[in-house]
Amino acid sequence: MSVLVVVEHDRGAMADASLEAFVFARSIADQLGEPVEALLIGADAAGLADVCAAHGAVAVHHAPIAGDYGPEAYGMVIASLAPVLSPSGIVACGTDRGNEVLAHAAAELDLPFVANCVAVTAADEWELTRVQWGGSLNEEARLTSTLPIVSVAHHAVDAEEASAGATANVMEHIVELPEWASRSLIQDRVVLSEGLTLATAPIVVGGGRGVGSAEGFDVLEALAAKLGGVVGCSRAVTNNGWRPHSDQVGQTGTRIAPQLYIACGISGAIQHWVGAKAAKKILAINTDPAANMVVKADYAVIGDLFEVLPAIEQG
């Protein structure tokens, strides 16, 4: 028996989120006294076995199906291999793809799936802690299942190698998928930005209602450009039409985890906070010293962002 990690990748490029799934899977496997194994789906994922080994997989199962990512096809691969590999549990990271693929697999297997866990006590019956309200509340839950299927909340654990340079035994599995499973494969891609994004930038400069207008974001753009970061915003800003929704940081926008988040004129409503709290450090710039964002931040400057930001930019 083993704990099986479903590895997320994009056309052969490992998603960093998968490394968090390995850490979470190892914590479960240690409780059960079992090893971790990995599942790579897609012909283009063949090159990822060594990374899986370095992150603790003693065996790597590879299902080299053709074509790009598709939630139904990937879910069916897991559902087909589950009885063959008979793991003690299946783990992925709770990203868009991770949660979606496990949900499809669980639906096919008619088994429960618990999304966005932060802790597991594995015994005959698993006891889990999972997030609700985007991370504002925790739910203690009990899972009754012949095969526990869980995702770990993204950014809940830090990625960490298990044994650098380790190698794993790679096993290839040919999975015959039903024709219908290919109806939801990616058919095309539109590239909108080549550079830094909210999810990858080391610095995010975020603006809230206090920025006051679309033009007000010019000072945030200038500082972000100087620091090599990108601009984000709160829900109040997108609701006012000052920035596109793709810039929104929060429960219903992007969840960020930069080295530093500079939150300017943001009150810190929970919807925003849960999307920003994975930042390593937070600097709040606000006229109100009692603002939730200021109270929760690591650092704060009390003052008008239109005076503070240009002064920082000029060094």
Question: How far is Cα 61 from Cα 146, in angstroms, rounded to an integer?
Answer: 21
Contact (Cβ atoms closer than 8 angstroms) between residue 22 and residue 5: yes
Window 139-168: residues binding other proteins (CB under 8 A): 139-145, 151
* CB closer to other proteins, 165 vs 189: 189
* CB closer to other proteins, 164 vs 183: 183
CA distances (Å), origin 311, targets 29, 55, 220, 306 = 51, 44, 12, 9
Binding of residue 232 to other proteins (CB under 8 A): no
Window 182-201: residues binding other proteins (CB under 8 A): 183-194, 197, 199-200
Question: How far is Cα 109 from Cα 106, in angstroms, rounded to an integer?
Answer: 5
* CB closer to other proteins, 94 vs 208: 94
* CB closer to other proteins, 173 vs 245: 245
What is the smallest separation between the CB atom of 151 and other proteins, expressed in angstroms?
8
* CB closer to other proteins, 39 vs 106: 106
What is the smallest separation between the CB atom of 65 and other proteins, expressed in angstroms?
17
What is the smallest separation between the CB atom of 81 and other proteins, expressed in angstroms?
18
* CB closer to other proteins, 160 vs 299: 299
Window 59-98: residues binding other proteins (CB under 8 A): 69, 71-72, 94, 96
User: 2, 80, 234, 251: which one contacts other proteins (CB under 8 A)?
Assistant: 251
Query: Which residue do the tokens 């914590």 mark?
Result: 27
Question: How far is Cα 260 from Cα 137, in angstroms, rounded to an integer?
Answer: 24
Closest CA to 128 of 144, 108, 106, 104: 144
What is the smallest separation between the CB atom of 313 and other proteins, expressed in angstroms?
9
Contact (Cβ atoms closer than 8 angstroms) between residue 289 and residue 283: no
Question: How far is Cα 303 from Cα 280, in angstroms, rounded to an integer?
Answer: 23
Q: Count of residues for the chain? A: 315
